[in-house]
Amino acid sequence: MDTTLRGVGVSHGVAIGEVRHMGTAVLEPPAKQIAAGEAAREQGRARQAVDAVAADLTARGNLAGGEAQAVLEAQAMMAQDPELMADVERRIAVGSTAERAVYDAFASYRELLAGAGEYLAGRVADLDDVRNRIVARLLGVPMPGVPDSDRPYVLVARDLAPADTALLDPALVLGFVTEEGGPTSHSAILARALGVPAVVALPGAGELAEGTTVAVDGSTGEVFVNPSAGKKAQMESAAAERKAALAASTGPGATADGHKMPLLANVGGPADVPAAVEAGAEGVGLFRTEFLFLDDSKNAPSEDKQVEAYRQVLEAFPEGRVVVRVLDAGADKPLEFLTPADEPNPALGVRGLRTLLDHPDVLRTQLTALARAAEGLPVHLEVMAPMVADRADAKAFADACREAGLRAKFGAMVEIPSAALRARSILQEVEFLSLGTNDLAQYTFAADRQVGAVSRLQDPWQPALLDLVALSAEAARAEGKSCGVCGEAASDPLLACVLTGLGVTSLSMGAASLPYVRATLAKYTLAQCERAAAAARAADSAAEARSAAQAVLSGE
């Protein structure tokens, strides 16, 4: 009899195969002492290893492109952090070997993050991965990472660092399962971009024996251990039916009774555009522009460089809608030339629009670049600000857009509960709202989006989060303006129906999710979606909300 484990499904699809575990982490180096005359040599070894690892991470990012590139370049910056490197050299100067100094310096920084309330806990996996790579190079042992295999398998790990997830080969990695992580972690987002079925926050995942056959359902979060022949056949049949339904579903997004629901793509740069076009995206609902700024943490990209990158995306959607989010720096995306280094809690500090208003020259250059990039194109450009808290924020952003000569709609992201509660006030200054459900959940429930232990509170089915979505949509409708969703909530086909029922006017997601959402929406009428939304809001938990909506839509 098969055993069923339950985690959080973060990437659609079914994977059936044997378990292969991620390569083990680097062992702790011995704490032996070096002679005083060897310090300079050891410091040189440490610098060479750090530079080599940073170059490797950057190269992986260039190969992966898009969102993965931005994440990996941020990791490369972490490897070369000057304060960390200074700590490594200090430890070597008092007798540590290069590998031991790296290990201890990273351990100290790790403790610092934990002591600050784990506001950057999602970066711990990234930090550990950088440390392991540097230490492995110094010790001359193989890098930790994806196992070598000539047969397809299901990858199991405690957590997956972005460097591993970004270059997964979908031909070999059928799916993956992690013990840590959450629905909006970097690995979850990249898994959806790859189209690899994935389940995260699965208790006991590390105890699955190597070679065990598992069946992974990335939609429900279920993992069946040693599934029976009947269970395998059932899942394969369901997957085949789903694939056929996806192939038959084309054209603009709409409900069964013709209510239009534009389906847009989230992109991290030009590299993500081909997949979005192929999936039939009607435009871009979230163009993350951070990838340009992560190339050099000390300097902003030139206006000409920005124009070139923006135009590549705008040209891909003639007559379509492209919603650009201006630079969202701070918190887990620090930039040396912009963000303070000594904030006690960056997640609640100067980030997003607050950072840009403190550096109006950076905002002005980006807005001017967007205006130039759109010149002569028939695209419908819309530009929005992240982390808008109130009407004053919205006005400051709209004023900056006008001063830059931007001919576009100006909008505000709803990521802070205050913005949802005062949405009508904010809409006096801007022309549309866009709900970033990932951060909105984080701030509503005081639950870091990267911490697996609080993934329950990051579930976009939480009724309190649905209430905030409804408030925003109602405000937009009252003002005759639009309110879309660009957070990962839109990638859940069932939840997409509920969001439609709540009154949102567009849905944006990773390209791989578009066919699933399009096919599911087409099965139900707007009235059914509205009834499902009401049932979900009446529930007391995320699980009950999902079950209630499912019951309504299945006619139970």
Reduce the secondary structure of 1-20 to three states and give it as a string: CCEEEECEEEECCEEEEEEE
Write the DSSP symbol of residue 260: B
Percent of the chain with pLDDT over 70: 90
Tell me the pLDDT tens digit for each residue of 76-129. 888 888 888 999 999 999 999 999 999 999 888 877 655 444 434 556 667 788
Whether 497 is a known active-site residue: answer no
Residue type, 256: A
The pLDDT assigned to 113 comes to 57
Instruction: Return the SS3 of 270.
Output: helix
Q: What's the mean pLDDT in 404-419?
A: 96
Q: What's the mean pLDDT in 461-476?
A: 98
Tell me the pLDDT tens digit for each residue of 387-410. 999 999 999 999 999 999 999 999
Beta strands 222-225; 3-6: pairing state: antiparallel
The pLDDT assigned to 119 comes to 38
Strand arrangement of the beta sheet that strand 222-225 belongs to: 3-6, 222-225, 213-217, 14-21, 153-157, 173-178, 198-200, 8-11
Write out the DSSP string of 491-509.
GSHHHHHHHHHHT-SEEEE
pLDDT at 335 over 60: yes
pLDDT range class, residue 240, cuts 50, 70, 90? confident
Q: Which of 12, 186, 359, 401 is catalytic?
A: 186
The structure's pTM equals 0.70
CA–CA gap between residue 136 and residue 86 (Å, rounded): 20
Give the Cβ contact number of residue 492 at 10 Å: 25
Cα–Cα distances (Å) from 382 to 197, 316, 485, 510, in that order, read 32, 15, 14, 19
Whether 486 is a known active-site residue: answer yes
Tell me the pLDDT tens digit for each residue of 269-309. 888 899 899 889 999 999 999 888 876 667 889 999 999 99
The pLDDT assigned to 2 comes to 67
**Which residue has better confidence, 29 or 508?**
508
CA–CA gap between residue 271 and residue 295 (Å, rounded): 15
pLDDT at 71 over 80: no
CA–CA gap between residue 98 and residue 122 (Å, rounded): 27
pLDDT at 65 over 90: no
Cα–Cα distances (Å) from 517 to 240, 246, 489, 492, in that order, read 17, 9, 11, 7
Highest mean pLDDT among 152-161, 184-193, 211-220: 211-220
3-state helix, strand, coil in the chain (%, to 5): 50, 15, 35
Place of tokens 């670049």: 369
The pLDDT assigned to 160 comes to 79
Q: Are 122 and 449 in contact (CB under 8 A)?
A: yes
Exposure string for 481-490, b = 16+ CB within 10 A, e = fewer: bbbbbbbbbb
Torsion of CA 515, 519, 520, 523, to 10 degrees: 170
**Based on the number of CB atoms within 10 Å of its own CB, is 449 exposed (0-12), middle (13-18) or buried (19 or more)?**
buried
The pLDDT assigned to 159 comes to 81
Q: Which of 401, 483, 486, 497 is catalytic?
A: 486
pLDDT at 54 over 50: yes
CA–CA gap between residue 15 and residue 17 (Å, rounded): 7
Highest mean pLDDT among 30-39, 178-187, 338-347, 373-382: 373-382
